[in-house]
Amino acid sequence: FADLVEILSPSVVSIASTTVVRNTGTQDEIPRFPEGSPFDEFFKEYFDREKRRSPSQRPMVGLGSGFIIDTSGIIVTNNHVIEGADEITVILSNQKEFSAELLGRDPKSDLAVLKINPKETSLNSVNWGNSDKMRVGDWTIAIGNPLGLGGSVTTGIVSAISRDIGGGPYVKFIQTDASINRGNSGGPLFNVEGEVIGINSAIISPTGGSIGLGFAIPSNSAKKIVQQLKDFGRTKRGWLGVQIQPVSKD
């Protein structure tokens, strides 16, 4: 797979999402003492001092993966990678960093589309493959940023198709035994032609690490949603069925 990986790796990015978390420390945490007690004054001074020392806001950084689908700077990732982020940074395989704009996201399918301004930097993009053609036993290649180790490559096979793991009514996952860990989310799952046939999104594991049960959103489902997020900033879904309303005795 080395020749193929050499071509594909520059198209895969690491994503750092920064969320500002407010410090929830309150005066209620101070132990209660009788009014005028020396302990009351001591703890009040201590907590006031700690409050000044600890900032009221602190940044939390989450790590994930993504891939470039257009050389103008369009990037696909998972919604849960960037959800709630105040700042999104995209890191290329050559370690160049760019601030990213969120074009749109769809929590129901767990997809998001980002945009960076590459300026003079030349970007490599990847092509969508046909996930409906994938069969159980076909080779798969995953590239991503597991546990902050950007550019990690793992291989495996398609273990199952149309797998329902309770991820919502809009996605039936491709199951693969290519090693997928935290941070691989949003990264591409390739076929041996180098086409994206899935977006790595979830694992099942009692340990939190890879045990060979990884799940990817099929490309045929993802590319339609990605196009809508790119064009409209949201997903437009049709409704077919029954509408229920209260009925009076009359």
Catalytic sites, residue numbers = 80, 110, 185
Whether residue 113 contacts residue 40, with contact meaning beta carbons closer than 8 Å, is answered with: no
Whether residue 19 contacts residue 85, with contact meaning beta carbons closer than 8 Å, is answered with: yes
The token pair that represents 182 in the structure block: 């935290």
Spatial separation of the C-alpha atoms in residues 226 and 114, rounded to whole Å: 10
Amino acid at 155: T
Give Cβ neighbours of residue 201 (< 8 Å, ≥ 6 apart). 78, 110, 167, 173, 185, 186, 215, 216, 217
Residue 52 host element (H or E): helix 38-53
The token pair that represents 159 in the structure block: 């273990």
- How many other C-beta atoms are found inside a 10 Å radius of the C-beta of residue 103? 18
